[in-house]
Amino acid sequence: MAPDRLALAVDATALLGPRTGIGTFVHELIHHLDRTTVDITAFSVTWRGRNQLGSAVPAGVRAVARPMPARPLRELWQRLPVPPIEWLVGAVDVVHGPNFVVPPARRAATVVSVADLTPVHWPELCQPSVRRYPRLIQRAIDRGAVVHAISDFVADEIRDHFDVDATKVVTVHLGVTEPESGGGRPPPTDRPYVVAIGTVEPRKNFPVLVEAFDLVADDVDVDLVVAGPDGWGLAELETAISGSPNSERIHRLRWLDPASRRRLVAEASVLAYPSRYEGFGLPPLEAMALGTPVVAARAGAIPEVVGEAAVLVDPGNAEALADAMRRTLDDRELRDTLIGAGHTRTERFRWSDCAASMTRLYRDAAGARVSSGAS
């Protein structure tokens, strides 16, 4: 049986630096966990950024700033169960790795979150550190970890790919952050615009979006804004933009603070999400919460997340994407339908529900660990 008050260690490395989807998950999870029943210790697997962790977590969360260099630790964890989490943060009941990697433990239960299987399907599109994730996930499974999948789509992929007990793969959906008004820098254009949000990497399919935008721009006075940190798909995107006959109407923004990101999405005419593969899809939900219609790819977990509240197209078809954007820009009735359906859809994805479900997962994992007599 799990203790009444749970001692949880969470890898909060994703809170350091520009906020990604994983960073949003960690931020919202830590803020929504019930502090009356869960004691949280945050740690970071990084050498240079560890001293920033204390200012990145809320009051009441213990931050451990011990030196934990990522590369050598992950090399060790691929082969050996050392160093265990207890050596790094002290005794805990559960340790959660929210970003594909969870430290081994001597006594604690382990939970590893898997956002997608990009390094399995397209290792050539991943950085070397990301290509190691599948082996680290399997090692964690072999040591008894419970796998948290952020969608049923990802859960099924995990059961198909890894040697894992199907009952130890648990789906807990992410949530959508409640809209806030005010603040943020203005958008980079005075014209109506389509916005795309995400780290610039090949699976985001931004070059196809530029191709589709060129088809729309011939008929509609609209701009395109692509916002998100540079990634390993930057060269392809830059080539697509420089080759576009409408390049002066395409605006590239890098990392945005939360208020500026909200304003950018809220004032957009359409959010385009043309990814070839996603394990969830936070930007469409964020757009729905802000009342912005969504055009997205019928790929990965996106249909599971958006349901009937978005226009879905084949991610490889620029003409279909262009037609969907054009219709959503021009058809007032379609826009109103999407906006209403979007508000209804977001009610199913609350961070408070995510935190409550993760707490149940932690307790079940801790209870199973105690029952197994792990020492």
Q: What 8-state DSSP symbol labels residue 186? A: P
For strands 270-273 and 294-297, give the pairing: parallel
Q: What is the rounded end-to-end Cα distance, in angstroms, of the chain?
A: 15
Cα–Cα distance measured from residue 64 to residue 80, given in angstroms and rounded to the nearest whole number: 23
Q: Can you give the pLDDT at residue 97?
A: 98
Full set of structural domains in the chain with CATH: 6-175+350-370 (3.40.50.2000), 193-346 (3.40.50.2000)
Over its length of 375 residues, how does the chain's per-residue pLDDT go in tens digits?
677 899 999 999 999 987 888 999 999 999 999 999 999 999 998 877 768 898 999 999 999 988 777 888 888 888 888 999 999 999 999 999 999 999 999 999 999 999 999 999 988 878 888 899 999 999 999 999 999 999 999 999 999 999 999 999 999 999 998 887 778 899 999 999 999 999 998 889 999 999 999 999 988 999 999 999 888 888 999 999 999 999 999 999 998 888 999 999 999 999 999 999 999 999 999 999 999 999 999 999 999 999 999 999 999 999 999 999 999 999 999 999 999 999 999 999 999 999 999 999 999 999 998 777 664
- Calculate the CA 186 to chain-centre distance: 25
Task: Count how many Cα atoms sit within 13 Å of the Cα of residue 270 in the half-sphere of its side chain.
Answer: 30
Number of Cβ within 10 Å of residue 311's Cβ equals 22
Other C-beta atoms within 10 Å of 66: how many? Answer: 10
Give the closest residue to 34 by CA, choosing from 57, 62, 13, 6: 6
Question: What are the φ and ψ backbone dihedral angles of 8, each rounded to 5 degrees?
Answer: -115, 130
Measured CA to CA, the distance from residue 210 to residue 216 in angstroms comes to 10
Q: How far is CA 259 from CA 184, 187, 227, 253, in A?
A: 4, 12, 14, 14
% residues pLDDT > 70 (the chain):
98
Please say whether the beta carbons of 157 and 237 come within 8 A: no
HEC string of 112-172 equals EEECCCHHHHCHHHCCHHHHCHHHHHHHHHHCCCEEEECCHHHHHHHHHHCCCCHHHEEEC
Q: Which residues contact 355 (CB under 8 A, 6 or more apart)?
A: 28, 29, 32, 33, 34
Quick: pLDDT tens for 268-321. 999 999 999 999 999 999 999 999 999 999 999 999 999 999 999 999 999 999
The backbone torsions φ and ψ at residue 273, rounded to the nearest 5 degrees and listed phi first, read -135, 80
Tens of pLDDT, residues 256-272: 888 999 999 999 999 99
Question: What is residue 19's predicted lDDT score, i.e. its pLDDT?
Answer: 80
pLDDT tens-digit series, residues 60-69: 999 998 877 7
Asked if residue 160 lies in contact with residue 138, where contact means CB atoms within 8 angstroms, the answer is no
CA atoms of 168 and 91, how far apart (whole Å): 23
pLDDT digits (tens, 9 = 90+) for 167-201: 999 999 999 988 877 788 999 999 999 999 999 98
